[in-house]
Amino acid sequence: MNKGTAIIGFFLCFLAGMGLMYSVDRSRGVSIASEGAKGAPGSAIPSHANLVIPVTNDDPSWGNPDALVTIVEFSDFECPFCGRVVPTLEQIKQTYTKDQVRIVWKNQPLSFHKAARPAAEAAQTVFALGGNDAFWKFHDKAFANMKALNDANFEAWAGEVGVDVAKFKADYTAKKHAAKVEGDIKVAMAVGANGTPAFRINGVELSGAQPFEKFKEVIDAQLKEAEALLATKVARSEIYPQLLQKNQKAAPAPEKAPTPQPEAEDTTVWRVPVEAHNPVKGPKDALVTIIEFSDYQCPFCQRVEATMKQITDTYPNDVRIVWKDNALPFHPRAKPAAALARVAREKKGDAGYWTAHAALFESHPKFEDQDLEAVSSKVGIPWAEVKKAIDTGKYDKVIQADMDLAADTAARGTPHFFINGRRLSGAQPFDKFKSLIDEELTKAKAMVASGTPKAKVYDELMKNAKGPPPPERKEVGPAPATAPYKGKKDAKVVIHEFSDFECPFCGRVNPTLKQVIDEYGDRVKIVWRNLPLPFHKNADLAAQAAHEAQAQKGNDGFWQYHDKLFENQQKGLTRDTLEAIAQEMQLDMTKFKAALDQGTHKKKVDDDKAEAEKAGVRGTPGFVVNGYFISGAQPFSAFKKTIDLALKEVK
């Protein structure tokens, strides 16, 4: 997808987010932890399968099958506006009972969102294996990591939500549930749900990431109609069919999708340098350079090895392959395996590296110490040296440099390739590689014919290649003098942490923030800023309670209370919980209760919310580091990169 197509796609998505609709080509076929209905597929009412907007046993859902209002959601895991509406749907779940409302998920992966359809198939696979509860957990992970939708993550998330990974991998690879996704798309197009997110509430159309009030207006009206039908002895199981038929008749005819237009090819050339620490296979003056970002523990990286051999066999004099490590955080043995390969390179050069590389993939997925020791013995390098390199993190800096470059070039999943700077993502078949290689070979030969030395072709291509985009910026005012903080009070780098005590991702990032303090010490200051989200009903009062702990026991008292809030997050941060924590900390309970009753610290919380709104920080957790913005519970590497940039600037 070229830049123009990307802009058009984003604009179309923007229209949907504003509540407008658009048509799409189908020929090419925030912080929340949703509570899914328990159990496996099979709870839908059979008679709902033959409706204009059917609900079947294959549809993930929340709520009871005979709920009075059925919200059918047509959505796309890569659409930012679909992600934005997730908190609103959570608010619906908190406002209405499962007897009143059910929410039914249907897939509508848009053609310009390349990862959306695989994500939809992965989610359907999880649903088939684990039921509603597993689906909604996977759904939350996908929307929380929208920029990291790839096969490796799908497999990892499936395991995290309790699905048998081997079964998931087999069914997903076999595209066992692709037909369900295609069926959803056909339903969406038939009823005019051409954009995402799109909703049909008992058949009443609501388009885009609308606010809660818009949903509530339609839901309440439909509840009244449903209750009126119940009063006439209509069975609950017939409420959805009857209201759907009535509302469909009243709805205008769906818009017809425009004639499909072919999507322009992405010709962007990315700046991906070959560095001294990168192992290389192939001639130094090769006309085509393939940069491979990969991970030894990734099954898809192993799968593409046969294709890479076919490439080197087909183009022995024209292609070189350059390895860059992208050890994904959920693959804990990827770095130890990478360390072994780097010891082999240090001892035996690039040839030794590629020998160890092949042996590691032969050992896959067995990468425990005893497995790596066996690989070391096989390739003839001392295990003691490998173990020392692993334990001391000898190669962590060069591995991290590769991972930072992967982030800069949006190579978030593995394997990920750049062919003379042209992107190719995933374990693609040989033909996909060949098409790009042949195209780049033609260009390179033309450059040589014009006087460029063969060995300088890649360097010349990189001179005008696209570099990483500048970091996102958001400006926030100085924190109040009384704001809780960690680190040095007058540190040159200030990290404003906008957070919410009921947000699970805010709790998840706490170990990373500890790592920031451990790594940077007095060079940084982390300041707490309150951003309780409106659908977290206890978050605002919890923030006030933490500030009362600070009022009574100082800065340390705030952080002690802060930690206990996150420890008790799953229990629910009710008033009783807040008071129990206060008693445990031996706070003055009379003062504590009065502060909560009188809203003593509410202005502090409201002022932080206003500052977040002014700066454009709307989700949690969100971090502003000397004006640079980090969104979400990012890994330490993302913080390190931004903090290092800020430190360099203040020097």
Worst-scoring range by mean pLDDT, 21-25, 80-84, 451-455, 511-515?
A: 21-25
Model pLDDT for residues 567-588, shown as the tens digit of each residue: 999 889 999 999 999 999 999 9
Q: What value does the mean pLDDT take over residues 454-460?
A: 96
pLDDT at residue 1, rounded to an integer: 41
312 CB burial (10 A radius; 0-12, 13-18, 19+): middle
Side by side, which strands form the sheet with 319-325? 280-281, 319-325, 288-294, 416-419, 422-425
End-to-end CA, the chain = 40
List, in sequence order, every residue forming a beta bridge with 199; answer none if it has no partner. 73, 206
Worst-scoring range by mean pLDDT, 191-195, 204-208, 562-566, 590-594?
A: 191-195
Give residue 9's pLDDT band: very low, low, confident or very high (50, 70, 90).
Answer: very low
Asked if residue 262 has pLDDT above 60, the reply is no
Asked if residue 73 has pLDDT above 60, the reply is yes
- Cβ proximity of 198 and 74 under 8 Å: yes
Q: Where are the domains of the chain?
A: 3-250, 280-463, 485-650
Asked if residue 121 has pLDDT above 80, the reply is yes
Model pLDDT for residues 467-505, shown as the tens digit of each residue: 988 888 999 999 999 999 999 999 999 999 999 999 988
> Distance between CA atoms of 409 and 153, rounded to whole angstroms?
18
HSE of 494, CA atoms in CB hemisphere, 13 A: 18
Instruction: Decide which of 51 and 41 is more confident.
Output: 51
Asked if residue 15 has pLDDT above 60, the reply is no
Instruction: Decide which of 309 and 15 is more confident.
Output: 309
Token pair recorded at residue 392: 């001391």
Asked if residue 535 has pLDDT above 50, the reply is yes
pLDDT at residue 194, rounded to an integer: 86
pLDDT at residue 249, rounded to an integer: 77
Q: What value does the mean pLDDT take over residues 497-516?
A: 94
Q: What value does the mean pLDDT take over residues 271-289?
A: 97
pLDDT at residue 329, rounded to an integer: 76
Concatenated DSSP letters of 604-639: HHHHHHHHHHHHT--SSSEEEETTEEEESS--HHHH
User: Prior bond to 511 cis, omega within 30?
Assistant: no
pLDDT at residue 313, rounded to an integer: 97
Give residue 43's pLDDT band: very low, low, confident or very high (50, 70, 90).
Answer: very low
Backbone angles phi, psi at 528, to 5 degrees: -80, 130
**Cα dihedral 362, 278, 436, 445 in deg (nearest 10):** -130
Q: What value does the mean pLDDT take over residues 540-560?
A: 98
Give residue 17's pLDDT band: very low, low, confident or very high (50, 70, 90).
Answer: very low
Q: What value does the mean pLDDT take over residues 11-17?
A: 38
Token pair recorded at residue 308: 């890479």
pLDDT at residue 16, rounded to an integer: 36
| Domain 3-250 class in CATH | alpha beta
Q: What percentage of residues in the chain have a pLDDT greater than 90?
A: 74
3-state secondary structure of 104: strand
Say if 280-463 and 485-650 have the same CATH topology: yes
Q: Which amino acid is at 491?
A: A
- Cβ proximity of 100 and 137 under 8 Å: no
Average pLDDT in the chain: 89
What is the fold, at CATH topology level, of the domain defined by 280-463?
Answer: Glutaredoxin (3.40.30)
Model pLDDT for residues 363-386, shown as the tens digit of each residue: 999 999 999 999 999 999 999 999
3-state secondary structure of 587: coil
Q: For strand 288-294 and strand 319-325, is the pairing parallel, antiparallel, or unpaired? A: parallel
Model pLDDT for residues 293-316, shown as the tens digit of each residue: 999 999 889 999 999 999 999 999
Concatenated DSSP letters of 507-522: HHTHHHHHHHHHHHGG
**Residue carrying the six token digits 């051999």:** 309
Asked if residue 254 has pLDDT above 80, the reply is no
pLDDT at residue 256, rounded to an integer: 52
Q: Which helix (H) or strand (E) is 106 found in, with range?
A: strand 101-107
pLDDT at residue 265, rounded to an integer: 64
pLDDT at residue 11, rounded to an integer: 40
Question: Residues with Cβ < 8 Å from 75, sequence gap 6 or more?
Answer: 82, 105, 106, 107, 108, 196, 197, 198
Tell whether pTM > 0.75: no
What is the fold, at CATH topology level, of the domain defined by 485-650?
Answer: Glutaredoxin (3.40.30)
- Cβ proximity of 427 and 303 under 8 Å: yes
pLDDT at residue 420, rounded to an integer: 98
Model pLDDT for residues 236-248, shown as the tens digit of each residue: 999 999 999 999 8
Closest among 288, 265, 318, 294 to 427, alpha carbons compared: 294
> Distance between CA atoms of 122 and 142, rounded to whole angstroms?
10
Q: What value does the mean pLDDT take over residues 163-170?
A: 93
pLDDT at residue 252, rounded to an integer: 60
pLDDT at residue 186, rounded to an integer: 93
